[in-house]
Amino acid sequence: METLADQWKQQGAQQERHRAEEWIKQEKDKWERQAELKATQRLIVEILTERFDVVGSGLTQKIYSIESLDILNGLFRKTQRVDSLEEFSKLVDKALET
């Protein structure tokens, strides 16, 4: 037979579990967005490195500072169209101005 104290412990544990589940639901979109941002930033740097060998730390930092997925996606598309790293760097600078 369960005591009243045991029942309260179970209820408390259930409430805490429910709160944790709600918090995870609320944060999930934010985590997914962050993961997508980081993956897109990383892919841009990797493609530029593959095409132009060395991407300086300044340009890399600028790319990682962009937190708009729309801008990053646009830059991602440009990685295959630019003729030089300097040209891409100018696009990043222009994107950071907005």
Q: CA 39 → CA 42, 45, 46, 93, distances in Å?
A: 5, 10, 10, 20
pLDDT at residue number 1 = 67
Cβ atoms 60, 45 nearer than 8 A: yes
Cβ atoms 98, 74 nearer than 8 A: no
Report d(CA 29, CA 56) in Å as an integer: 32
**Residue 61, helix vs strand vs coil:** helix
State the pLDDT confidence band at 4, using cuts at 50, 70 and 90.
confident
Indicate whether 8 pLDDT > 90. Answer: no
24-55 pLDDT tens trace: 888 998 999 999 999 999 999 999 999 999 99
Q: Find the range with the poorest average confidence among 3-12, 15-24, 49-58, 65-74.
A: 3-12
